[in-house]
Structure 1
Amino acid sequence: MSDTFEDVKTVIAEVLKIDASNLNMETRFIEDLKADSMDQFFLIDGFCEKFGLNISDDDARAIKSVGDAVNYISTHKN
């Protein structure tokens, strides 16, 4: 899972233009990183591209933190 965590952090850093070193599993996109709805869209798109996934809108709405993303990707990637 640590590789997935590092890859998720990389996507977040690229999309939000932030330093990934401060991200942890509890970091929330909206509350902690001040991501807006477009940022969230680009994060999900980045995760789909990086991991070869198709994340449904319903699933995307449930991904609210770094940990949510890591857990979702870990259970859905091939």
Structure 2
Amino acid sequence: MRGNHVSQPATDAEIRQGLAEILEEIADVDPANATDDKSFTDDLEVDSLSMVEVVMAAQDRFGVEIPDEDVQQLKTVGDAVSYISKRQK
């Protein structure tokens, strides 16, 4: 886990790995399945309550704000990686 949020922005690979770890902890998703093309709801079976927890953990981990209206647009792991990558730079 990254120490502080003001150092270097996380790379896409680091974001992807971080999301995989968060998904494993919160929703019991195998990290190997958390690939860019996977839908949070359809493929990874993350329910709405777990998604709220995933978003909160991602905000803390990567130091970004993800407003509720934006969460609805994050359909896949790849969507979330791109969103976080753009917001932290």
Q: TM-score normalized by structure 2?
A: 0.80
Please tell me whether residue 16 in structure 1 is matched to residue 27 in structure 2. yes
Sequence identity (%): 28
Q: CA deviation at 1:22?
A: 2.1
Aligned counterpart in structure 1 of residue 74 of structure 2, from 59, 63, 68: 63
Higher radius of gyration, 1 or 2: 2
Tell me if the contact between 2:59 and 2:65 (Cα under 8 Å) persists in the aligned partners.
yes
Tell me if the contact between 1:15 and 1:46 (Cα under 8 Å) persists in the aligned partners.
no
Structure 2: runs of 5 or more not aligned: 1-11
Whose helix proportion is higher, 1 or 2?
A: 1
Q: Whole-Å Cα distance in 2 between the matches of residues 5 and 36 of structure 1?
A: 19
Structure 1: runs of 5 or more not aligned: none
Q: Segments of 4+ in structure 1 off by > 4 A?
A: none
Q: CA deviation at 1:75?
A: 0.4
